[in-house]
Amino acid sequence: MNLKEKLKKSVSGEERRKNLRYGSYSFAVTAIVILLVVVVNLVAGQLPASAMELDASTEKLYSIGDETKELVGNLEKDVELYYIVTGGNENDLISKLVDRYGELSSHLTVEKIDPDLHPEFASQYTDEELADNSVIVVCGDKSKVVSYSDMYGSSYYYDEFDGEGQLTSAISYVTSEETMKIYQLTGHQEQELGGNFTDALTKNNITVEDLSLVTMESVPEDAAALIICSPQKDFSSEETEKILNYLQNGGNVLLFTDYTVDEMENLGRVLENYGLKKDSGIVMEGDANHYTQLGPNAFLPEISTESAYASSLSADAYVLVQNAQAIREIESYRDSLEIQPILSTTESGYIKQVENGRISLTQEEGDETGSFRVGVSVTEEVENGETQLVYFSSSTLVNDDYDELVMNGNTELLTNVITELCGIDAGQAISIPAKSLSVNYLSYTQQSAVFWRTVVMILIPGAFLAAGFVIWIRRRKQ
């Protein structure tokens, strides 16, 4: 074997050894990468769904709010959520929602129950036949059913999903020691409470019963509050005394009034006893930034941040009232009364008087101007505790149509008021709104369409072609 052949053989052997080393290195790297992928998947499988899934929905349909996190995170009692659903019929929203509840506390467990496999299970808690995707919330001997229809509903403008509000309310109910009861006065052609407000009361586990003081000797002792919603006829003297007696003994009243042609002397007596009276005219807002397309009589009042009933409202919350009357303080009242504004017009407000059943909306010379209150609170320390009277001079606050125009701002305010009147701790109050299921479509102008068509169809492909050409030229020169 000559020298050339020996060298060739030596080089060939060296290349084989080098290839062997490279092959071993590649194999080791591949094995390590596969091992890392397996480990990452195992770790990821143990992480909660909330950490692995991004909620990109506008309404955060798949997320849980801070209010729920605080309530569930502070649970001291064990709570079970039984998700009633036939295999294969799971609702995506509800299924993921109950799983997220299970991640919030060691005191809360979630169990899926197939009614085909356990046909008698639900009968332990309800006589009703439950639809798929209903949830039974249980704590000890207390339970509450949240049906599929409770979680899905419709408002005036859009379909809604209220799963979080209903489930959190049910958890609050089964873990609470008692349920609040309020009464709504009847017998004077009062306005009905709107559905949004009554739903908010239900979420806070507050029950509402009608009350006729004609047949009752007094306001019941178990009344956490009394609601008087825009009576169209005056109280009798006997009813007035019963209302005043209730207030003087530490009662809580939420009062709404509207403009009426007839004078209501006995209602006026109740107001005057607490340092108030209402003006005969209708309040208008002169600042165009504070009234709606309905006219200056339908306005967005300024909300007092000093009021305990409004201080915890969302920063972007608006309230809408229409045809309100100015609430004034009488010339003299007892020093024990503390009167605070809740809702007021701007300094551009003015008052129009009703003449022959008609009213002009335009400001004219001689109209009284200034800032006018349309919502106030009165508190007084009494022997049996504290009296609270909250008064709004327009019942549009409880009207669902007006509430929808301000994205449930009216309901948020009234929920704060009623929970404060009932003595519900701010941390325990439930004010979770339903989430819209409406689709928000992407809108764009013709100009923007041309721009993005140029970017996507010409500029981006052109950039790739240019980059490829530059790389090709460089390689040719090497």
The tens digit of pLDDT for each residue in 191-229 reads 999 999 998 998 888 999 999 999 999 999 999 999 999
Residue 76 is assigned to a structural domain of this protein: no
Cβ neighbours of 188 (radius 10 Å): 20
* Cα–Cα distances in angstroms (integers) from residue 59 to residues 90, 160, 440, in the given order: 21, 10, 10
3-state secondary structure 61-109: CCCCCHHHHHHHHCCCCCEEEEEECCCCCCCHHHHHHHHHHHCCCCCEE
Question: Which among 147, 205, 201 has a CA at the least distance from the CA of 172?
Answer: 205
- Hey, what amino acid is at 410? N
Q: Average pLDDT of the chain?
A: 86
Query: CA 200, CA 403: separation in Å to the nearest integer?
Result: 13
Give the residue numbers spanning the domain of 391: 180-433
Q: How confident is the model at residue 426 (pLDDT cuts 50, 70, 90)?
A: low
Kindly give, in sequence order, each residue whose CB lies less than 8 Å from that of residue 81, ignoring residues fewer than 6 positions away: 98, 101, 102, 108, 109, 110, 111, 135, 136, 137, 138, 167
Q: How confident is the model at residue 24 (pLDDT cuts 50, 70, 90)?
A: low
- Hey, what amino acid is at 171? I
Q: What is the pLDDT of residues 231-278, one digit of tens each?
A: 999 999 999 999 999 999 999 999 999 999 988 999 999 999 999 999
Instruction: Fill in the DSSP letter of residue 459.
Output: I
Average pLDDT over residues 146-175: 83
Residue 343 is assigned to a structural domain of this protein: yes
- Hey, what amino acid is at 234? D
pTM > 0.95: no
Supply the pLDDT for residue 476: 75
Q: How confident is the model at residue 9 (pLDDT cuts 50, 70, 90)?
A: low
Residue 82 is assigned to a structural domain of this protein: no
Stated length of the chain: 478
Residue 116 is assigned to a structural domain of this protein: no
Q: What are the counts of helices (DSSP H) followed by strands (DSSP E) for the chain?
A: 13, 22
Residue 405 is assigned to a structural domain of this protein: yes
Q: Which two tokens stand for residue 220?
A: 């019941």
Q: What are phi and psi of 385, to 5 degrees?
A: 135, -125
Q: Which two tokens stand for residue 45?
A: 């499988």
Asked if residues 102 and 131 have their Cβ atoms less than 8 Å apart, the reply is no
Residue 44 is assigned to a structural domain of this protein: no
Taken in order 276, 282, 284, 290, is the CA torsion positive or negative?
positive
Residue 347 has pLDDT above 80, yes or no: yes
Q: What are phi and psi of 268, to 5 degrees?
A: -60, -35
- Hey, what amino acid is at 76? E
Supply the pLDDT for residue 459: 85
- Quote the percentage of the chain above a pLDDT of 70: 84
Average pLDDT over residues 339-348: 97
Q: Of all helices (H) and strands (E), which one includes residue 20?
A: helix 3-46
Q: How confident is the model at residue 7 (pLDDT cuts 50, 70, 90)?
A: very low
Q: How confident is the model at residue 22 (pLDDT cuts 50, 70, 90)?
A: low
Residue 416 is assigned to a structural domain of this protein: yes
Residue 10 has pLDDT above 80, yes or no: no
Supply the pLDDT for residue 427: 59
Residue 71 has pLDDT above 60, yes or no: yes
By the 10 Å C-beta count (0-12 exposed, 13-18 middle, 19+ buried), 21 is classed as: exposed
Asked if residues 431 and 416 have their Cβ atoms less than 8 Å apart, the reply is yes
**307: CATH:** 3.40.50.880
Residue 386 is assigned to a structural domain of this protein: yes
Q: Reading across the β-sheet that carries 291-292, which strands appear in turn?
A: 291-292, 295-299, 321-322
Asked if residues 50 and 103 have their Cβ atoms less than 8 Å apart, the reply is yes
Q: How many domains does the chain have?
A: 1
Q: What are phi and psi of 130, to 5 degrees?
A: -85, 140
Taken in order 341, 206, 142, 100, is the CA torsion positive or negative?
negative
Average pLDDT over residues 55-67: 69
Residue 42 has pLDDT above 70, yes or no: no
